[in-house]
Amino acid sequence: MVQEKIKYTINFLTDWHAGSGLSGGAEADAVVIKDREGFPYVPGKTLKGLFVDAFCDFIALGIDGFTQEKKNELLGYYDPVLKRSFQGKLFFSNAELPQVERDAIDARHKYFLFRTISSTAIDSESGDC
């Protein structure tokens, strides 16, 4: 089977977060997922989920070519009767910074690519939420 790669660019227009699923404790609500070199990335599983969600929206809107059968074929599905998952034709790898950009970022500066944000508000006087 011949595999084709699609090269695409993701532009973030606001803060974004792809979490590791682990809590950051009192410091942060969730830890930013990073590769072994400390660069943040978007997991392929997250990208696939975004595509599934968009595909479902297109089906609901009745856009030509977007059907449940096509979604199942491309993105896979779970059959509750058989209690089994079926793999789709598409595979999503992690979205990472291009190597030329990674090389241009000094090791001391890669931590400026993300910041810690806590969404829990605490009253500064009483300590209550």
What tens digit of pLDDT does each residue of 12-71 get?
A: 888 777 766 655 554 555 677 888 888 889 999 999 999 999 999 999 999 999 999 999
* DSSP output for 109-122: TGGGG---------
Question: Please, what is the Cα angle at 105 between 99 and 108, to 5 degrees?
Answer: 135
pTM of the model: 0.73
User: Which tens digit of pLDDT belongs to each residue from 98-125?
Assistant: 899 999 998 788 888 877 666 655 555 5
- For residue 65, the SS3 value is coil
DSSP code at position 33: P
Distance between first and last Cα of the chain = 56
